Structure 1
Amino acid sequence: MSNIPTPHNSAKQGDFAKTVLMPGDPLRAKYIAETYLEQPRQVTAVRNMLGYTGTYKGKEISVMGAGMGMPSIGIYSYELFHFYDVENIIRIGSAGALQDSLHLMDVVIGMGACTDSNYAYQYGLPGTFAPIADYGLLSRAVEIAKKQGTPVAVGNILSSDVFYNLCPDANDKWRSMGVLAVEMEAAALYMNAARAGKKALCMFTISDHIYRPEALSAADRQLGFSKMMEIALELA
C-alpha cells in the first residue's frame, strides 16, 4: 500500500523535485516559489504547510515550509526522504546570533548542530550522535557564496527545543563553546538525513542577536533573506 498522500502532505508521487528548500515559514515558501521559480505549482497545502515545485535556471526545484521545532521538521523531512524520493533538503531559516562577530542579515552555515533535544533517543545508539551537514553540499555552498560575494560563517549551531528558556545562563554555556547561533530544527533534519542515507544542509540568516538589542521585523523574516536564498537556489 502506498505511503502517500500522508496525513501531513497531499502531494502525489513525482510532485517533489529531488532537492527541496525548506524555510520554516510556509509564507516564505510561497514567496520563494513566486519570486524565484519559473512556472511554480502548488503541490500541497495540508495544515497550510505550503509546498511548491517549479524550475530555476532550467532545473526542477521544490520549496516547502517546515514549521517550527524539531518535531515539525522531523515529520516533513522524514516523509520527503522516505515517501517522496527526495535526495537533498536544504533548510533556509533564521537564527539568533550568539557570537559578537555576527550581525543582522549575516549568513551562517551549520556544519554541525548541537542540541538539547532528545530526538536521537529513537535510534537506540550506545552513545551521543553528532548531527552534521553533508560535506558536498556544504563545500559547494561556501564556493557559491564566494562567487556571489556573500561572506558566510561556518561552524556549530544550536538546535534547541526551548524558545523561552527558564535557565538564565543556557545561552552563555553554548556561547562559551564557540557555538555561532541558535535555532530550532537543524539537528532533527541532519539526523533524519543520516538515517535515510540522504543529504541535508542548513543555512541561516541572523534575525536577532541574543546579546545585543538587535532584531528584524516579522515582515523582514518572511520576505527578506535574499542572499541566503540565492545561495540555496544555485546549490540546488
Structure 2
Amino acid sequence: MSTPTPHISAKVGDFAKTVLMPGDPLRAKFIVDHYLEDAVLVNPVRGVNGYTGTYKGKKVSVMASGMGMPSMGIYSYELFHFYDVDNIIRIGSAGSLQEDLKIRDIAFGMGACTNSSFARQFELPGDFAPIASFELLQKAVKAAENRKVHYKVGNFLSSDTFYDDSQRTMDWAKMGILCVEMEAAALYMNAARAGKNALAICTISDSIITGEQTTSEERQNSFHEMMEIALEIA
C-alpha cells in the first residue's frame, strides 16, 4: 500500500519519527495548542487530526488513536509501515485496579495483557506477551523521577470491553495488573511486528476499587505531567 492510506492523508515525511497518540482527538489538539510550536495539520481524515510541530526544537507529531484496539491497530500500523514512524507513545487514561494507584497517578505499561483476539492474526503457536520498548520506558521513568511525580511501572490490561457483562475485571488485580485501558496491547503487538518502539503512559482517571473518577473535561484538558513526560522523551 502507498500513501495516502485509507485513514491518513499525509505525505511521507509529514510525520516526525516519534508520534504521541492520545485516544481523544481533543486531547491531541490541546497538546498542539499548549506545547508545540509551528504546528501544521498533516491529517484531517475522519476528524482524527494529526499535527507535526516542534517541542524544544525537536520535531514531534501528535495524532489521536481513537478508542479500542481496532482503531489503535489501524493507525499505529499505518504510521509504522507507511510513514516511517519509529516510536509511538500512547498517552491515555486508565482505571486503577490497585489500592496504591490513585487517580491522577501515572502508570507506565511494561507489558499489556489482553482479552482481545488481536494476536490471532500473527498465527503464532502459542500466546504472545506484548511488551513496551525498554529504551522508551527507561527514559520515561527517569523523566518521572526528575519531576518527582507518583508513578508505577507494571502490567496493563488492554480490554476489548468497557462495559463488561461478566463484571470480572477485578480478577486481573490478583495477578498484579495495575490498571485497565483499551489500546496498549495492540500498539505493542504492531510495534513488535514492525520492529519499532512503543510505550503506553496512562494517567489514572478513575479507580475500579473506590469508584473515584475524573470528569471528561479533566481527561481532555489536564493530565499535564503525562503529556510533558511523553514530550520530553519524544
- Scaled to the shorter chain, the TM-score interval is over 0.9
Identity %: 62
Q: Which amino acid aligns with 2:15?
A: F
Q: CA offset at residue 172 of structure 1?
A: 2.4
Structure 1 residue ranges without an equivalent (≥5):
none
Q: Secondary structure of the equivalent of 1:214? A: coil
Q: Is the partner of 1:114 in helix, strand or coil?
A: strand
Aligned to 2:210: 212
Asked if residue 180 in structure 1 is aligned to residue 178 in structure 2, the reply is: yes
Give the match's secondary structure for 2:23: coil
- Describe the superposition over 1:148-193 as per-residue Cα deviations: whole angstroms up to 9, x where unpaired: 111210000100001110112x222101111000000000000000
| Paired residue secondary structure (1:29) | helix
**Structure-2 residue corresponding to 1:144:** 143
| 1:87 corresponds to | 86
Structure 1 CA distance for aligned equivalents of residues 211 and 141 of structure 2: 29
Q: 1:3 is aligned with what amino acid?
A: S
Structure 2 residue 61 is matched with structure 1 residue 62: yes
Give per-residue Cα distances to partners, 1:5-32, cap 9 Å, x unaligned: 1111111111000000000001110110
Matches of 1:202 and 1:181, distance apart in 2: 12
RMSD: 0.7
Match for residue 228 of structure 1?
Answer: 226
Decide whether the 8 Å contact of 1:97 with 1:181 is kept in 2.
yes
Partner Cα separation in structure 2 for residue 178 and residue 41 of structure 1? 42
1:18 counterpart = 2:17: yes
- Aligned-pair distance for 1:213? 2.1
Task: Describe the superposition over 1:104-151 as per-residue Cα deviations: whole angstroms up to 9, x where unpaired.
Answer: 100000000000000000000000000000001001110111111112
Using the alignment, how far apart are the partners of 2:170 and 2:109 within structure 1? 19
The separation in 2 between residues aligned to 1:53 and 1:172, in whole angstroms, is 39
Runs of 4+ in 1 over 2 A off after TM superposition: none
Structure 2: distance between partners of 1:152 and 1:140: 13
Contact 1:27 1:50 in 2 (8 A): no
Kindly provide the amino acid, as one letter, of the partner of residue 16 in structure 2: A
Task: Name the counterpart of 1:159.
Answer: 158
Give secondary structure in 2 for the equivalent of 1:81.
helix
Tell me the equivalent position of 1:97. Answer: 96
| Matching residue of 1:201 | 199
- Is residue 194 of structure 2 the alignment partner of residue 192 of structure 1? no
TM-score (norm 2): 0.99
TM-score if structure 1 supplies the norm length? 0.98
